[in-house]
Amino acid sequence: GAGVSQSPRYKVAKRGQDVALRCDPISGHVSLFWYQQALGQGPEFLTYFQNEAQLDKSGLPSDRFFAERPEGSVSTLKIQRTQQEDSAVYLCASSPIGDAYNEQFFGPGTRLTVL
Amino acid sequence: GQQVMQIPQYQHVQEGEDFTTYCNSSTTLSNIQWYKQRPGGHPVFLIQLVKSGEVKKQKRLTFQFGEAKKNSSLHITATQTTDVGTYFCAGIMDSNYQLIWGAGTKLIIKP
């Protein structure tokens, strides 16, 4: 079956613009994770959904970042009033189990560049 | 804040030489996972260790979890060009939903 997909793959935004990044997890996967990966660094946790419930959003760096998964499948990460420090690759991962004690399947990521 | 430290940042080896990367945590980990990320790609799961002192092998790869569950290592025997990439460790500390990631070790095969 299909893996995790993300769109767009690349996004260039002017500083101050709002962006929306989409993640389609593997069908039936309970868990959905968002990460931010800066160049040369490991992924940093942003937020976690178990079905439609956002159980952990402690990694969101500011109130400009918002994530949702209203029907427990597709998820959107929204960044308002983008800043240059938001430039990074945003990775989405899903897992069939309802916590982080399991293999996570990653999408290809969205590379965001804020000018 | 809570961190997982990973060393070295880079390792250059001749093809056929061994490679090792080490992870150390400031606090006890509930588990440790290892991922590989090829250049331009996304992380791909390799293995999970849960038990104190656990050792697991996958062909030429050997994974260890320390007795105190604060450190872990990945050792590759006789590296091949297909091993090129960045190897990350990631573990659970407090929240059951958060993996805390190391900065990765990049394996580079010398031409």
pLDDT digit string, tens, across residues A70-80: 999 999 999 99
User: Is residue B67 pLDDT above 80, yes or no?
Assistant: yes
pLDDT at B11 over 90: yes
Question: Choosing among A26, A104, A110, which should be mutated to test the B contact, i.e. which has the most B CBs within 10 A?
Answer: A104
Which of A42, A50, A102 has the CB atom closest to B103's CB atom? A42
**Quick check: A108 pLDDT over 90?**
yes
pLDDT in tens, A18-71: 999 999 999 999 999 999 999 999 999 999 999 999 999 999 999 999 999 999
B81 touches chain A (CB under 8 A): no
- Say whether pLDDT at B2 is over 80: no
Residue in chain A nearest B46 by alpha carbon: A103
- Give which of A65, A27, A22, A70 is closest to A47, Cα–Cα: A65
Contact across the interface for B103 and A50, Cβ inside 8 Å: no
Cα torsion angle, A99, B104, A42, B43, sign: negative
Percent of chain B with pLDDT over 70: 98
Write the CB contacts of B16 (distance below 8 Å, at least 6 apart in sequence). Answer: B78, B79
Distance (Å) from the alpha carbon of A20 to chain B's nearest alpha carbon = 20
What per-residue string of b and e applies to A14-31 under the rule 16 or more CB within 10 Å gives b? eeeeebebebbbbeebbb
CB contact under 8 A, B101 and A40: no
- Using a CB-CB cut-off of 8 Å, the residues of chain B touching A53 are none
pLDDT digits (tens, 9 = 90+) for B16-58: 999 999 999 989 999 999 999 999 999 999 999 999 999 999 9
Q: Do B107 and B85 contact (CB within 8 A), yes or no?
A: yes
How many other CB atoms are found less than 10 A from the CB of residue A46? 22
Residues of A in contact with B97 (CB under 8 A): 31, 33, 48, 50, 55-56, 99-100
Give me the residues paired with residue B62 across strands. B57, B75
Select the residue of A41, A50, A56 nearest B95 (Cβ to Cβ). Answer: A56
Distance from CA of B79 to the nearest CA of A (A): 22
Average pLDDT value for chain B:
95
B46 and A CB contact within 8 Å: no
Would the CB atoms of A100 and B48 count as touching at under 8 Å? no
Report CA torsion sign: B30, B32, B33, B38: positive
Distances (CA, A) of B107 to B17, B22, B74: 11, 13, 12
